Each structure stands twice: as structure tokens, then as C-alpha cells.
């Protein structure tokens, strides 16, 4: 049987990577970037059928005190970190270890993906990652005067 590679040709799915993630039988932390936002989901797979358990996006930060005039920066390192904290707060009852699913996004040290993973991890959920790949704390805060206010609004100290 020939596998339909349409989604690979459209740059939407890496089937080899997906198969390896599904074989691991872990809950996955799925991080995706769009042109405006970063989306985070905790996904459970059962026989290659994905079920989204929890979801958060950087657009949700506008409800937590992110200024409207800074809405263009909702795909920054700081926004990714805060969205990770938000997702971690929603999914606080998860006791299992998560594994990162970055899809077709390349693994780059200090990237927005790892800022989101750091946010989820700082909220108390166990995620497998290498500490060397994490961005610096100063880069995450990025001199945003409202960063701590949004963090408190999410409910994380």
C-alpha cells in the first residue's frame, strides 16, 4: 500500500517524525507557529487519532493584560513563555511526562519553541528537554514593562 504524501508535499507533516512520536506513547506538547501567534496543545494519540486535551495560544494573553498596541509581538519569546505558563496552569492535573512535538519547525537553540517549553515546565509539568536549548531569562522578558503583570494575571508567581 502506497502512503499518500500530500501533506508532506504541502509542508504540513513529517511522517517519519510523527511515527516516532506515536511509537513513544507519551502525551505530546505540540507547538506550532503561525504568522501572528504561537499555538500550544497537549495531545493524546490513540491508534494515530489525535485528541486535544488542553490548548492555549498567545492570542489568549490579550485577556490577561497584554497591551493591544503590542499585539504584533504575540509571537515573541516572552509571549511564547507566557502562553506556556497559561497552558501549564490549565493542565495542572497532568502527572505524566510530556514529549515535545515541534512538527516541521527546525530545532534552534533559544527559539520561541523552547521558550514555550520552558513556560510549560516552569508551571510544574514535566517535559523532556535539554537545558542548553533554553533561551536566557533576560531574552524572554525582553524589557517588557508589562511582563510581570501578565504573569501574575495568569496566576503564576
At 58-98, the pLDDT tens digits run 999 999 999 999 888 899 999 999 999 999 999 999 989 99
Helices 77-90 and 112-122, axial angle in degrees (round to 10): 30
What is the C-alpha separation between 25 and 68, in angstroms, rounded?
Answer: 40
Residues 120-142: pLDDT tens digits?
A: 999 999 998 888 899 988 888 87
Banded model confidence at residue 3, pLDDT cuts 50, 70, 90:
low
Banded model confidence at residue 2, pLDDT cuts 50, 70, 90:
low
pLDDT of 82:
95
pLDDT of 71:
86
41 forms bridges with which residues in the sheet? Answer: 30, 55
Cβ neighbours of 52 (radius 10 Å): 10
Q: Is the pLDDT of residue 146 over 60?
A: yes
pTM here?
0.86
Alpha carbon 105 to its chain's center: 12
Q: Is the pLDDT of residue 156 over 80?
A: no
Banded model confidence at residue 18, pLDDT cuts 50, 70, 90:
confident
pLDDT of 134:
92
10 Å CB burial of residue 31 (0-12, 13-18, 19+) is buried
CATH 3.30.420.100 fits 11-154, yes or no: yes
Banded model confidence at residue 54, pLDDT cuts 50, 70, 90:
very high
Amino acid at each position: 500500500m502506497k502512503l499518500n504524501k500530500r501533506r508532506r508535499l504541502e509542508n504540513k507533516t513529517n511522517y517519519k517524525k510523527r511515527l516516532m512520536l506515536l511509537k513513544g506513547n507519551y502525551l505530546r506538547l505540540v507547538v506550532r507557529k503561525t504568522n501572528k501567534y504561537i499555538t500550544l496543545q497537549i495531545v493524546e494519540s490513540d491508534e494515530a487519532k489525535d485528541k486535544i486535551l488542553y490548548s492555549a495560544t498567545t492570542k489568549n494573553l490579550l485577556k490577561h493584560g497584554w497591551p493591544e498596541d503590542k499585539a504584533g509581538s504575540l509571537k515573541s519569546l516572552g509571549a511564547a513563555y507566557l502562553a506556556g505558563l497559561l497552558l501549564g496552569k490549565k493542565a495542572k492535573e497532568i502527572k505524566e511526562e510530556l514529549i515535545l512535538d515541534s512538527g516541521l519547525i527546525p530545532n534552534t537553540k533559544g527559539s520561541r519553541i523552547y521558550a514555550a517549553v520552558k513556560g510549560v515546565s516552569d508551571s510544574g509539568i514535566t517535559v523532556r528537554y535539554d537545558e542548553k536549548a533554553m533561551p536566557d531569562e533576560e531574552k524572554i522578558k525582553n524589557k517588557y514593562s508589562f511582563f510581570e503583570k501578565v504573569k501574575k494575571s495568569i496566576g503564576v508567581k
